[in-house]
Amino acid sequence: MFHHILGLTPGMREFADRLRAGGHTVHAPDLYDGRVFDSMEGAFAFVKSGVIDIDERADAAAADLPERLVYLGVSSGVMRAQRLAQKRAGAAGAVLLESAIPVSGEWAFGPWPDGVPVEIHGMDADEFFAGEGDIDAAREIVAAADDGELFTYPGDQHLFEDSSLPSYDAEATDVLVSRVLAFLGRVDH
Protein backbone atom coordinates (compact mmCIF):
# COMPACT_ATOMS: atom_id res chain seq x y z
CA MET A 1 0.00 0.00 0.00
CA PHE A 2 1.52 3.28 -1.11
CA HIS A 3 0.51 6.28 0.98
CA HIS A 4 -0.76 9.63 -0.22
CA ILE A 5 1.15 12.91 -0.60
CA LEU A 6 0.97 13.78 3.11
CA GLY A 7 2.93 10.66 4.08
CA LEU A 8 2.28 7.53 6.07
CA THR A 9 -0.09 9.27 8.48
CA PRO A 10 -1.69 7.61 11.50
CA GLY A 11 -4.88 7.33 9.41
CA MET A 12 -3.04 5.49 6.64
CA ARG A 13 -1.56 3.13 9.21
CA GLU A 14 -5.06 2.53 10.58
CA PHE A 15 -6.41 1.89 7.07
CA ALA A 16 -3.66 -0.73 6.50
CA ASP A 17 -4.51 -2.28 9.88
CA ARG A 18 -8.17 -2.61 8.86
CA LEU A 19 -7.11 -4.60 5.80
CA ARG A 20 -4.80 -6.71 7.97
CA ALA A 21 -7.70 -7.37 10.35
CA GLY A 22 -9.51 -8.79 7.32
CA GLY A 23 -6.86 -11.51 7.12
CA HIS A 24 -4.46 -9.99 4.59
CA THR A 25 -0.77 -9.22 4.71
CA VAL A 26 -0.34 -5.51 4.02
CA HIS A 27 3.02 -3.91 3.38
CA ALA A 28 2.85 -0.15 3.89
CA PRO A 29 6.30 1.30 3.22
CA ASP A 30 7.03 4.77 4.50
CA LEU A 31 8.38 6.43 1.37
CA TYR A 32 9.18 9.66 3.27
CA ASP A 33 11.35 8.28 6.10
CA GLY A 34 8.88 9.29 8.79
CA ARG A 35 8.01 12.71 7.41
CA VAL A 36 4.30 13.55 7.59
CA PHE A 37 2.92 16.82 6.28
CA ASP A 38 -0.09 18.79 7.45
CA SER A 39 -0.62 20.62 4.15
CA MET A 40 -0.66 19.65 0.49
CA GLU A 41 1.57 22.64 -0.27
CA GLY A 42 4.28 21.50 2.14
CA ALA A 43 4.08 17.94 0.85
CA PHE A 44 4.27 19.02 -2.81
CA ALA A 45 7.29 21.22 -2.03
CA PHE A 46 9.02 18.29 -0.35
CA VAL A 47 8.30 15.92 -3.24
CA LYS A 48 9.40 18.46 -5.85
CA SER A 49 12.60 19.21 -3.92
CA GLY A 50 14.02 15.86 -5.04
CA VAL A 51 15.37 15.09 -1.55
CA ILE A 52 14.18 11.54 -2.11
CA ASP A 53 13.30 9.56 -5.22
CA ILE A 54 9.83 8.25 -4.40
CA ASP A 55 9.62 5.93 -7.39
CA GLU A 56 12.98 4.41 -6.53
CA ARG A 57 11.83 3.84 -2.95
CA ALA A 58 8.57 2.25 -4.13
CA ASP A 59 10.48 -0.05 -6.46
CA ALA A 60 12.86 -1.02 -3.66
CA ALA A 61 9.93 -1.71 -1.31
CA ALA A 62 8.40 -4.10 -3.85
CA ALA A 63 11.66 -5.70 -4.98
CA ASP A 64 11.99 -8.15 -2.09
CA LEU A 65 8.31 -9.13 -2.09
CA PRO A 66 6.76 -11.95 -4.11
CA GLU A 67 5.67 -11.08 -7.64
CA ARG A 68 2.04 -11.98 -6.97
CA LEU A 69 0.86 -8.86 -5.14
CA VAL A 70 -2.16 -6.61 -5.16
CA TYR A 71 -0.86 -3.06 -5.44
CA LEU A 72 -2.86 -0.44 -3.59
CA GLY A 73 -2.24 3.29 -3.85
CA VAL A 74 -3.94 6.26 -2.25
CA SER A 75 -4.06 9.50 -4.27
CA SER A 76 -0.45 10.26 -5.28
CA GLY A 77 0.45 6.73 -4.16
CA VAL A 78 -1.62 5.51 -7.10
CA MET A 79 1.23 6.50 -9.43
CA ARG A 80 3.48 3.92 -7.76
CA ALA A 81 0.83 1.23 -7.34
CA GLN A 82 -0.50 1.55 -10.87
CA ARG A 83 2.96 1.63 -12.45
CA LEU A 84 4.00 -1.53 -10.59
CA ALA A 85 0.71 -3.29 -11.35
CA GLN A 86 1.17 -2.51 -15.04
CA LYS A 87 4.91 -3.03 -15.33
CA ARG A 88 6.05 -5.55 -12.71
CA ALA A 89 5.49 -9.16 -13.73
CA GLY A 90 2.97 -11.23 -11.81
CA ALA A 91 0.63 -8.58 -10.41
CA ALA A 92 -2.44 -10.18 -8.82
CA GLY A 93 -4.47 -6.97 -8.95
CA ALA A 94 -4.64 -3.26 -8.26
CA VAL A 95 -6.73 -1.06 -6.01
CA LEU A 96 -6.51 2.61 -6.90
CA LEU A 97 -7.96 5.10 -4.44
CA GLU A 98 -8.83 8.65 -5.46
CA SER A 99 -6.59 8.79 -8.51
CA ALA A 100 -5.93 7.03 -11.80
CA ILE A 101 -3.44 7.47 -14.62
CA PRO A 102 -4.79 7.04 -18.18
CA VAL A 103 -3.68 3.94 -20.06
CA SER A 104 -3.06 6.05 -23.15
CA GLY A 105 -1.43 9.42 -23.68
CA GLU A 106 1.58 11.29 -22.37
CA TRP A 107 1.54 10.04 -18.76
CA ALA A 108 0.50 6.46 -19.48
CA PHE A 109 2.40 3.41 -18.30
CA GLY A 110 1.09 1.53 -21.31
CA PRO A 111 -1.93 -0.72 -21.81
CA TRP A 112 -3.64 -2.36 -18.87
CA PRO A 113 -2.15 -5.86 -18.49
CA ASP A 114 -4.28 -8.88 -19.33
CA GLY A 115 -5.54 -10.82 -16.35
CA VAL A 116 -4.91 -8.08 -13.76
CA PRO A 117 -8.18 -7.15 -12.03
CA VAL A 118 -8.60 -3.58 -10.81
CA GLU A 119 -10.88 -1.62 -8.52
CA ILE A 120 -10.90 2.17 -8.48
CA HIS A 121 -12.60 4.21 -5.76
CA GLY A 122 -13.23 7.93 -5.35
CA MET A 123 -15.80 10.53 -4.39
CA ASP A 124 -18.01 11.79 -7.19
CA ALA A 125 -17.40 15.49 -6.42
CA ASP A 126 -13.77 15.30 -5.23
CA GLU A 127 -11.98 18.26 -6.82
CA PHE A 128 -8.97 16.11 -7.66
CA PHE A 129 -10.54 12.78 -8.60
CA ALA A 130 -13.65 14.08 -10.39
CA GLY A 131 -12.48 17.60 -11.18
CA GLU A 132 -9.06 16.92 -12.70
CA GLY A 133 -9.95 14.02 -14.97
CA ASP A 134 -8.88 11.08 -12.85
CA ILE A 135 -12.40 9.69 -12.98
CA ASP A 136 -12.15 9.66 -16.78
CA ALA A 137 -8.84 7.78 -16.54
CA ALA A 138 -10.54 5.38 -14.13
CA ARG A 139 -13.27 4.70 -16.66
CA GLU A 140 -10.62 4.09 -19.34
CA ILE A 141 -8.79 1.60 -17.12
CA VAL A 142 -11.97 -0.26 -16.17
CA ALA A 143 -12.96 -0.48 -19.84
CA ALA A 144 -9.49 -1.83 -20.75
CA ALA A 145 -9.26 -4.36 -17.92
CA ASP A 146 -10.64 -7.88 -18.21
CA ASP A 147 -11.99 -7.46 -14.68
CA GLY A 148 -12.42 -3.89 -13.51
CA GLU A 149 -14.83 -1.86 -11.47
CA LEU A 150 -15.19 1.81 -10.61
CA PHE A 151 -16.89 2.77 -7.36
CA THR A 152 -17.89 6.35 -6.63
CA TYR A 153 -19.09 7.65 -3.30
CA PRO A 154 -21.25 10.70 -2.74
CA GLY A 155 -19.18 13.61 -1.51
CA ASP A 156 -16.39 16.02 -2.27
CA GLN A 157 -13.66 14.95 0.16
CA HIS A 158 -10.19 13.95 -0.95
CA LEU A 159 -8.35 11.44 1.26
CA PHE A 160 -11.66 10.41 2.77
CA GLU A 161 -10.25 7.09 4.06
CA ASP A 162 -7.60 8.72 6.25
CA SER A 163 -9.04 8.88 9.78
CA SER A 164 -6.34 11.32 10.90
CA LEU A 165 -7.50 14.06 8.51
CA PRO A 166 -10.50 16.41 8.58
CA SER A 167 -11.60 14.96 5.21
CA TYR A 168 -12.29 11.56 6.80
CA ASP A 169 -15.68 10.04 6.00
CA ALA A 170 -16.26 7.06 8.28
CA GLU A 171 -19.34 5.78 6.45
CA ALA A 172 -17.72 5.89 3.00
CA THR A 173 -14.55 4.32 4.43
CA ASP A 174 -16.50 1.44 5.93
CA VAL A 175 -18.03 0.70 2.51
CA LEU A 176 -14.63 1.12 0.85
CA VAL A 177 -12.93 -1.27 3.26
CA SER A 178 -15.64 -3.92 2.79
CA ARG A 179 -15.30 -3.65 -1.01
CA VAL A 180 -11.52 -3.83 -0.91
CA LEU A 181 -11.60 -6.83 1.43
CA ALA A 182 -14.03 -8.59 -0.92
CA PHE A 183 -11.73 -7.81 -3.86
CA LEU A 184 -8.67 -9.08 -1.98
CA GLY A 185 -10.52 -12.24 -1.01
CA ARG A 186 -11.49 -12.85 -4.61
CA VAL A 187 -8.05 -12.29 -6.17
CA ASP A 188 -6.21 -14.07 -3.36
CA HIS A 189 -7.69 -17.40 -4.43
CATH code: domain of residue 181: 3.40.50.1820
pLDDT in tens, 55-74: 999 999 999 999 999 999 99
Model pLDDT, residue 16: 98
From the number of C-beta atoms within 10 Å of its C-beta (0-12, 13-18, 19+), residue 158 rates as: buried
Q: Which stretches of the chain are DSSP H helices? A: 10-21, 40-49, 54-63, 77-87, 134-144, 170-187
Asked if the structure places residue 3 within a domain, the reply is: no
Percent of the chain topping pLDDT 70? 99
| pLDDT computed for residue 50 by the predictor | 85
Interval 156-179 mean pLDDT = 98
Q: Report angle CA 25, 109, 11 to the nearest 5 degrees.
A: 35
Whether residue 189 is predicted with pLDDT greater than 70 in this model: the reply is no
The range of the structural domain enclosing residue 68 comes to: 10-187
Does position 188 have pLDDT exceeding 80, yes or no?
no
pLDDT (0 to 100) of residue 185: 94
**pTM greater than the 0.85 cutoff:** yes
φ/ψ of residue 34, rounded to 5: 90, -5
Q: Is residue 92 part of a domain?
A: yes
Say if 1 falls within a structural domain: no
CB neighbours of 156 closer than 8 A, spacing ≥ 6? 123, 125, 126, 127
pLDDT of residue 107: 82
| 70 within domain boundaries | yes
- What is the count of structural domains for the chain? 1
In a domain, 34, yes or no: yes
pLDDT tens column, 92-143 = 999 999 999 999 888 889 999 999 999 999 999 999 999 999 999 999 999 9
Helix, coil or strand: residue 151: strand
Residue 106 confidence (pLDDT): 84
